[in-house]
Amino acid sequence: MLDPTMPDTSSPASTQDALATLRDRLQELYRHRGKPSYRKLADLANNAVSHTTAHAVIRCQKCG
């Protein structure tokens, strides 16, 4: 059974919309927290991600 609250990501356009929404929200949260350093974000994540990965995620850049 599909969850009606989840966006339909079956088409490339809806996937792009979902990614754009995620990017916008991540950047909004980042700014709201005072734009901490990427090393600080990695520390806050208990080093589950590196500072370079934190940077790529916030900037929505492709890693690797």
Tell me: the pLDDT tens digits for 10-29? 666 788 888 888 888 989 99
Tell me: the pLDDT tens digits for 28-37? 999 999 999 9
| Average pLDDT, integer, range 43-59 | 91
pTM for the whole structure: 0.63
Backbone angles phi, psi at 63, to 5 degrees: -90, 150
Judge whether residue 64 has pLDDT over 60: no
60 pLDDT band (50/70/90 cuts)? Answer: confident
Residue length, the chain? 64
